[in-house]
Structure 1
Amino acid sequence: MRGRGANDEADGGARVVPTGAAPAPGPWIARQAVLPSFGPVVRRGSDDDFAHPAERELARVLTFYGVRWVYEPTTFALRRTGDGGSAAFFTPDFYLPDHRLYIELTTMRQRLVTRKNQKLRRLRALYPAVGIKLLYRRDYQQLVDAYEPAKADPDQDRIGPIVYPASVIAARIETLAGQIAADFAVAGPSWSTRSPVLVGVGQGSDRFLSALTAALTHRGVEYGQDRIELTRYDPVGDGRARVRRAPHLDLSGRRVLLVEDVVSTGLSLAYLVAWLRRRGVRDITACTLLDRTAARLVEVPVRHVGFEVSAALLAGFGLGLRRQFSELPYIAAIAPASLPRSSV
């Protein structure tokens, strides 16, 4: 996300990092870039490492959740000259080696990102095996909103239009319970000798978990129930994520269904999946009331979804965001009383 166009042209100041042998003229389009080797890199990065504060903030979030990242490690050739030289380049901001994913972050306004989209389409056409995701301004703002600390003055926000009435939520939970019951009815792996366990993730899942388990009990489904809770990301802190409330049940040899209120980037869910696997849990899936797939950064095992939602901030029905509205029986949009942010 270099503001001076360093990713565009060779003479624009791009820092070219070798990606293997240079492709030969002609059939080079069909060749794949050779990705560099990465050590076990998990680092915060100093302010001087990044071209924009938004990149620094994203790096801090990744580090908090233990996601290994490397900043601008690879430059891809997008256009060749007649003699086989490179005329245009693209250098994504981050590479996540454990997820084989590049991330490009742009905080330009939407009407100015046409050229960036063209470059990404070109990169995907030339290097189809390379995974890359573009985070737009709205995606970054959603990330900031999701991880921002609780407001000192909760009255800054007010409830907007109802998105999902209570009756719609209840009906959808009944449908999810039917799907989960069908899954649980299928014999588990040979090593799974006990009933599955539903594990609620954080305070925001409590109401959804309660309604879901009631529907499962009504169907005569046998299951265990527990809870897990992560520390929350602090933009000014130096810590790493940790499990501050571990499950009390022994989950070894049992199927685990993590129950979330919202899955967005997938970073916290991926952290929990890895944490549970290190403790002997071999079969882990997730159920979420709200799923923001457009914001996903890493793949996570979400099997059951209540509602696919957009980037709009939502509250109510026990959701963890804006707890002052958690007792509402429905889910509604949040209408901030303050003016929209304009600093990014």
Structure 2
Amino acid sequence: MSLDSHIERVLWTPDQIATRVFDLAAQISTDLSHFSEPPALVGVATGAFLFLADLARQITLPVTVDFIRAESYGSGTLSSGSPTISFDLKLDVTGRHVVLVEDIVDTGTTMAHLIAHMESKGASSVSVCTFLDKPSRRKVDFQLLSKGKFYRGFECPDYFVVGYGMDFAERYRNLPYIGVLKPELYK
């Protein structure tokens, strides 16, 4: 059975994704061009790895890259609401502008936790760049906590989506598009 047969419908194609990533990178390059130190792109592992790689290649500024792992889902489809950092940065972000690169933001709880964590490490400001945003599920307005900007690729309807790095139980990350997973596969 092919991976595609597990998808109810495609929301964003590879071409739509590439175009949006290019636009986000151009916006970030313009917005962050005035910093004396290169901005630090911090990917939230593991879902953001493809988005981060594509984004970093399109940004026209020198940047540094690192990863952090924040876990709030486990193998389910609903956030526990209590994220933990299970793998921290190697990079020193003291006095630097950090761009947290995330695959999807829904409740905002994990992002609020990560912004506070970056600030506790001495980041001068923190922006968020998420590939997908689900504002309909927002519980925490993390944007009020940040001194940086909020960049989003697409506003996502309240579906359980996979592909382009996003998974269900560590599967489907390798799909080149964003698709809605058939509910019978996760319920």
Pair 1:320–1:251, CA change in 2 (3 A) = farther
**AA paired with 2:20?**
R
**2:32 is matched with which residue?**
184
Pair 1:183–1:339, CA change in 2 (3 A) = closer
Is this contact kept in 2: 1:205–1:320, CA < 8 A? Answer: no
2:161 aligned residue (298, 301, 314): 314
1:170 aligned residue (18, 37, 40): 18
The number of aligned residues is 174
1:222 corresponds to 2:35:
no
Once residues 39 and 159 of structure 2 are traced to their aligned partners in structure 1, the CA distance between those partners, rounded to angstroms, is: 33
Where structure 2 has 5 or more consecutive residues not aligned to the other structure, the ranges are 77-81, 144-148
Is this contact kept in 2: 1:261–1:320, CA < 8 A? Answer: no
User: Which 4+ stretches in 1 moved above 6 angstroms?
Assistant: none
**AA paired with 1:168?**
Q
**1:262 is matched with which residue?**
104
Pair 1:338–1:250, CA change in 2 (3 A) = closer
**1:333 is matched with which residue?**
180
Question: RMSD in angstroms over aligned alpha carbons?
Answer: 2.3
Once residues 285 and 271 of structure 1 are traced to their aligned partners in structure 2, the CA distance between those partners, rounded to angstroms, is: 13
Once residues 334 and 290 of structure 1 are traced to their aligned partners in structure 2, the CA distance between those partners, rounded to angstroms, is: 15
After superposition, give the CA deviation of every residue in 1:54-91 in whole Å (9 maximum; x if it has no partner).
xxxxxxxxxxxxxxxxxxxxxxxxxxxxxxxxxxxxxx
Pair 1:271–1:259, CA change in 2 (3 A) = same
TM-score by length of 1: 0.47
Once residues 175 and 117 of structure 2 are traced to their aligned partners in structure 1, the CA distance between those partners, rounded to angstroms, is: 33
1:201 aligned residue (34, 44, 67): 44
TM-score by length of 2: 0.85
Once residues 258 and 339 of structure 1 are traced to their aligned partners in structure 2, the CA distance between those partners, rounded to angstroms, is: 28
Where structure 1 has 5 or more consecutive residues not aligned to the other structure, the ranges are 1-154
Once residues 140 and 111 of structure 2 are traced to their aligned partners in structure 1, the CA distance between those partners, rounded to angstroms, is: 9
Once residues 98 and 106 of structure 2 are traced to their aligned partners in structure 1, the CA distance between those partners, rounded to angstroms, is: 20
Q: CA shift at 1:230, angstroms?
A: 1.6
Pair 1:241–1:312, CA change in 2 (3 A) = closer
Larger-gyration structure (1/2): 1
Taking CA–CA contacts closer than 8 Å with sequence separation of 6 or more, which of the two structures ends up with the larger relative contact order?
2
Pair 1:167–1:298, CA change in 2 (3 A) = same
SS at match of 1:256: strand
Pair 1:164–1:250, CA change in 2 (3 A) = same
Taking the TM superposition and a 5 Å limit, the aligned residue runs for 1:135-154 are: none
**2:146 is matched with which residue?**
none
Is this contact kept in 1: 2:6–2:185, CA < 8 A? Answer: no
Once residues 186 and 160 of structure 2 are traced to their aligned partners in structure 1, the CA distance between those partners, rounded to angstroms, is: 15
**AA paired with 1:287?**
C
Once residues 184 and 210 of structure 1 are traced to their aligned partners in structure 2, the CA distance between those partners, rounded to angstroms, is: 18
**AA paired with 1:277?**
E
Q: CA shift at 1:197, angstroms?
A: 0.5
Identity %: 31
